[in-house]
Structure 1
């Protein structure tokens, strides 16, 4: 991992206005549409490439890999960064944890702000596309920190005004409504031809963009289903009923192709700084899941076996580097996976449990989610979805017996119509968690929302009491770069958070207790 730099929040806002000092000109509805459209499309690459930053790898490592990828149970570094006083042992490193914030504001929000100024009046469909990308990127950011600067971004070059997470989510829904309605309106001008070459996901296919936007709205609706069930159902049913449909097969997955090798190839294969997580080992080996050999490589420490590392150990690279690396089919690609058809089937399965109109049958959606994930990864097992005996396996650390522990999940795979909704949800989320790999950020959010799948707790908790070992980490602290440049607003953000600025404070949608 390379050295860390910081971006000042105040400097960032000055940069925004320096880049848009011709705002009045570019926002004027005149006859220079082709020129303005071409300029707008030039700013999309910065958004595509930084939702999950595709380069440099060391920045991606700090944006997601050393937080969400680990906290989700997917991965764990063999490397004892900072003498194991780091994120993995809950001794949160402020310099690291600025990166999800700084990458988003210097790339996503800045570019979205610029596209809005150029195209909102001259080509609303182009503006609508930028809103979808902005929501996809920024829901990940608010799901890391809680309150963020969003609805009033760019209003004042000296101040970034924070919104509560509830306000941010309400704004997301408004923006997605606008985007879906606008893209579906045949009376409006089409997006310029230059967008197809810029579009790193769908090559300019607007129908697929509508499907993705509907699917994203369904994801966000499910996310708030515990804290605001009425609003969640309203927004979810909009997507389920929309004529444009949802992502329903793997050809329509939202995969961003920045034409550079996946950063995990560098982090895992070149630097040997990330390996399989112990929770992944427990669940995949216990289920004898055929995706295991696609997701990971057999270990060198126990030849012929897949071995993961528990979160929060005193990592020692020579001892733990021989554990299972990330699979070649995952890292030897230029595609960044951000949403798939399998996830959408699982979202519909949960929506059906909650009684949302248009969701269909929960079991059918659940089994379709498994089958679609299998298809995505080119594996097959005719009996997998009907297996009602296999459960997660106990964990054994071949180099440190003190880390051994029994399995914490006992949910089986096969659908059980007689089970409670809570048990059914545990099945849905466990399978969705497997299918969403390697996107640890979304998996961590779903674990916090539902408590599923059940994950091994941290071995060494060095948070000085700020994070409960059993409840596990709930968020990252606000970016210290903004605490210096925007201190009054960060103080307001803490009050909006509703608890101390620690990793143990729950987000707005993160409600303790059962899901039904």
Structure 2
């Protein structure tokens, strides 16, 4: 985190929040706030669809916020990226009592809520309201992007404001959907959007949002494939808690004639943010606030995985020449202690939100459940690895890698503090190998699929953390220092983020009803609806 500017930036955000009614989920004055939002008349903007396209550019850029950089740091990096096992900070923020050791900092976590309710829900509503019945391709695209952005929010908090967004109750509150209700709404939105864009593609309609699409260049077919994959992602997410609904929605995605994302070279969902640089380059580079997580070292070094040199630099200082990660939630007295551990390799100016590799791993898991058109689990699993190797230019390494039936994750040693070590025999140290074993148990097959999916999904920590909570794979190392005062059991890991204090001060009755639907207190130890481990 950039020194000296954080408190002033938070203060500035607070002013902006007040001005835009963020603290009331940006709904009470929606029409006034969003009248003429780009200083042009709708007649002027309609000539090239800017009044519909520009708001959706805003959405795409804020699923993972990229400007200013510090927002993404507190929106995702200092929670999901770390809780996923991907990364850890060498910086002892707030005297080493912070999110990373389960003492939630409300000023950080507010951004997980405020960013989407400023930059996703309002512009999506703006487009949905104006495009319906006139420009239904924009209408469908807005619905897909809304689900993309808001399912991440639900998978962090649980119940969220979605289907009732813009509706004010008599007491001034705004009603939340339970997580089950919001997932139903997600599926309905995706189904409608898929049908709409499929019809546009089938009749060869002129692609109207090409100039605004920073991912697939306006291709209706690609966005249907993306939406099918997103639908399958969400179906798999609820497969334990609602298996019949999951199967119905998953099979709808699997049997669609356009299919899923498939090609590791061309189908990945990468948002072009140039000329801005990727925020991870700043956190890991000039700020020095993020490093490799210990589980990534354990798996990637243990597997001799060639992706390690794509993802990370070797460590510097006293442990130079090797890859070295930091264990999550440890005692850190000084940033200098762990600053020399492996930094992230600089990445191009594209934010990764989904990959073709993930689609194949989703299919592999669906095949374990015998869902229609899922294919063969082994073939899907191996194609997932191939798609990831293709994405990173490592196809020449693929055949040897998938045949490796002996390499296992390595125990972890901390050269700065042996108390953080994870030895052979520790229950939290995985023993899963790479090569598919058709004779393995269902649980072992699932662990193998999710472990490789986790490696391939890097650096997208939101999805990796969600999948870990759903499956408990891959095996991660629990925190050593737990500052939650008992709210989050160490061996259960963090299950969610608590609602920001702003919701209690401005939407109290609604957020209290939302918490009641969780079945537990508003803490990081209460599992979400789909997390039944």
TM-score normalized with structure 2 length? 0.91
Is residue 125–residue 190 contact of structure 1 (8 Å, CA) maintained in 2?
A: no
Query: Deviation per CA, 1:64-118, whole angstroms, max 9, x where unpaired?
Result: 0000000000000000000011001101111111111100000000110111121
Within-5 A mapping of 1:225-264:
225-250=239-264, 251-259=266-274, 260-264=276-280
Aligned to 2:481: 460
Is residue 73–residue 278 contact of structure 1 (8 Å, CA) maintained in 2?
A: yes
Is residue 37–residue 192 contact of structure 1 (8 Å, CA) maintained in 2?
A: no
Q: Select the residue among 291, 298, 313 that pairs with 1:275.
A: 291
**Matched residues in 2 for 1:103 and 1:393: separation?**
38
Aligned to 1:341: 356
Aligned to 2:320: 303
Aligned to 1:387: 404
Aligned to 1:508: 529
**Matched residues in 2 for 1:59 and 1:20: separation?**
22
SS in 1 for 2:306: coil
Query: Deviation per CA, 1:417-448, whole angstroms, max 9, x where unpaired?
Result: 11111100000000000000000110000000
Aligned to 1:360: 375
Q: Which moved more, 1:241-250 or 1:59-68?
A: 241-250
Unaligned runs of 5+ in 2: none
1:371 partnered with 2:356: no
Aligned to 1:399: 416
C-alpha root-mean-square deviation of aligned residues, in Å? 2.1
Is residue 125–residue 189 contact of structure 1 (8 Å, CA) maintained in 2?
A: no
SS in 2 for 1:383: helix
**Matched residues in 2 for 1:343 and 1:193: separation?**
27
SS in 2 for 1:149: coil
SS in 2 for 1:39: helix
**Matched residues in 1 for 2:203 and 2:510: separation?**
40
**Matched residues in 1 for 2:89 and 2:45: separation?**
50
Q: Taking structure 1 as reference, are residues 320 and 197 closer, same or farther at Cα in structure 2, changes over 3 Å only?
A: same
Alpha-carbon distance, 1:195 to partner = 1.8
Alpha-carbon distance, 1:252 to partner = 1.3
Is residue 74–residue 111 contact of structure 2 (8 Å, CA) maintained in 1?
A: yes
Q: Select the residue among 55, 58, 62 that pairs with 2:67.
A: 55
SS in 2 for 1:488: helix
Aligned structure 1 segments of 4 or more residues deviating by more than 6 angstroms: 187-192
Aligned to 1:135: 147
TM-score normalized with structure 1 length? 0.94
Alpha-carbon distance, 1:187 to partner = 9.3
Aligned to 1:288: 304
Q: Select the residue among 210, 215, 223 that pairs with 2:237.
A: 223
Aligned to 1:321: 339
Is residue 109–residue 134 contact of structure 1 (8 Å, CA) maintained in 2?
A: yes
**Matched residues in 2 for 1:36 and 1:12: separation?**
28
Aligned to 1:10: 24
Alpha-carbon distance, 1:188 to partner = 9.8
